């Protein structure tokens, strides 16, 4: 089979499309004929050597996929051969076939094509673990979503609205803001307009937001701490800005808010039973038809490098998907 391979950490332009042996499923695994996979910012960081997980070289990047089951390992009876599924791995999805743990896969909703399926799991799992599990979001609460035009941001907007929250979303530029508004955000603010603290405070009648969902970090995180309500939950999703901010704990004490780290994949690995409940909630959410993963563009299998260029240029609204 063909697979994209990383032979050295660094420039993603050095990735190669090679012929490698097809995987065989271990016990508890299925092999999926990949029809689409969704490169993401963490995948790009992994290739560059800047992610917390550094696989042994060479490796195949990318975490999310959708396709058809072609083989099952011992003890697997969850999916028939030929079943249409979506799923996730830590790396290895940028290939014509991938082997994945059965509990990390779910049925592809009939209304979705493979591209939408590939764009679902990581973004919405991050949103679910962050907002529902760690953030304990309640209906009627105010949520401030940063980077709302990105994959994890758009997922957070949709999930928060599905759970009855009031959403203030932030993105850069009119086109991105328009898509975020279409996805249901109650208020959309443009980073180009400058400081957002006063606007957020005004929208919440001076109280501030109950949850901050922040995959950006840097100055955005710093200013967010100035517009939180008492007992707010500040969810640390990532640092797309490039700067890891610091927190003054006396301010945490005075305002009585919580700063909470969110690693959706690690959450399930640390607590498999809780992870299974998250996956069950996601499967129900996908089947409900209340959310739709947003696919920015679809590229052919030979264009993984172009996908990363689009991601690095911050042109993406939602997710880039590579189809095979």
Provide the whole-model pTM. Answer: 0.91
pLDDT of residue 142 exceeding 90, the answer is: yes
Percent residues over pLDDT 70 in the chain: 100
Give the residue-averaged pLDDT of 110-122: 96
Q: What is the pLDDT of residue 288?
A: 87
pLDDT of residue 144 exceeding 90, the answer is: yes
Instruction: Please state, as a whole number, how many other Cβ atoms lie within 10 Å of the Cβ of residue 77.
Output: 7
Confidence of residue 101 (pLDDT cuts 50, 70, 90): very high
> Of the given ranges (9-13, 246-250, 314-318), which has the lowest mean pLDDT?
314-318
Decide if domain 123-265 falls under CATH 3.40.50.970.
no
pLDDT of residue 96 exceeding 90, the answer is: yes
| Predicted confidence (pLDDT) per residue in 214-265, tens digit | 999 999 999 999 999 999 999 999 998 889 999 999 999 999 999 999 998 8
> Of the given ranges (19-23, 143-147, 284-288, 299-303), which has the lowest mean pLDDT?
284-288
* Closest to 210 measured CA to CA, from 198, 196, 227, 187: 227
pLDDT of residue 60 exceeding 90, the answer is: yes
* Closest to 185 measured CA to CA, from 160, 212, 205: 160
Cα dist from 178 to 119, 169, 187, 281, whole Å: 20, 11, 11, 29
Confidence of residue 315 (pLDDT cuts 50, 70, 90): confident
Q: What is the pLDDT of residue 46?
A: 96
Separation CA 183–CA 149 (nearest Å): 10
Q: Coil, helix or strand for 172?
A: coil
Confidence of residue 47 (pLDDT cuts 50, 70, 90): very high
* Domain-wise residue ranges, the chain: 2-120+293-323, 123-265
Architecture in CATH for domain 2-120+293-323:
Alpha-Beta Complex (3.90)
Beta-bridged to residue 259, according to DSSP, are 234
Q: Which residues touch 225 (CB under 8 Å, ≥6 apart)?
A: 212, 234, 247, 251, 255, 257
Beta-bridged to residue 105, according to DSSP, are 87
């Amino acid at each position: 089979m063909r697979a994209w391979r990383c032979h050295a950490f660094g420039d993603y332009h050095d990735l190669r499309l090679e012929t490698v042996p097809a995987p065989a499923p271990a016990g508890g695994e299925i092999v999926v004929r990949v029809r689409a996979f969704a490169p993401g910012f963490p995948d790009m960081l992994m290739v560059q050597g800047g992610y917390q997980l550094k696989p042994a070289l060479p490796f195949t990047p990318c975490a999310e996929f959708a396709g058809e089951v072609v083989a099952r390992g011992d003890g697997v009876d969850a999916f028939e051969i030929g079943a249409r599924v979506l799923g996730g791995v830590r790396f290895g999805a940028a290939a014509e076939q991938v082997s994945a743990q059965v509990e990390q896969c779910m049925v592809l909703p009939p209304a979705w094509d493979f591209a939408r399926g590939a764009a679902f799991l990581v973004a919405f799992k991050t949103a679910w673990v962050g907002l529902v599990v760690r953030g304990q979001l309640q209906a009627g609460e105010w949520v401030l979503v940063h980077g709302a035009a990105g994959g994890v941001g758009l997922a957070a907007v949709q999930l928060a609205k599905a759970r009855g929250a009031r959403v203030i979303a932030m993105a850069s530029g009119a086109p991105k803001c328009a898509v975020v508004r279409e996805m249901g955000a109650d208020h959309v603010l443009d980073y180009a307009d400058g400081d957002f603290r006063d606007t957020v405070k005004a929208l919440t009648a001076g109280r501030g937001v109950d949850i901050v969902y922040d995959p950006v970090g840097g100055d955005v995180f710093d200013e967010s701490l100035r517009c939180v309500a008492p007992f707010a939950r500040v969810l640390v999703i990532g640092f797309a800005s490039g700067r890891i901010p610091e927190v003054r704990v006396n301010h945490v004490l005075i305002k009585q808010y919580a700063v909470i780290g969110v690693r959706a994949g690690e959450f399930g690995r640390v607590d498999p039973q809780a992870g299974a409940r998250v996956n069950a909630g996601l499967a129900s959410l996908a089947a409900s038809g209340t959310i739709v993963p947003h696919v920015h563009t679809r590229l052919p299998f030979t264009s993984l490098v172009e996908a990363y260029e689009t991601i690095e240029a911050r042109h993406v609204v939602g997710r880039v998907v590579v189809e095979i």
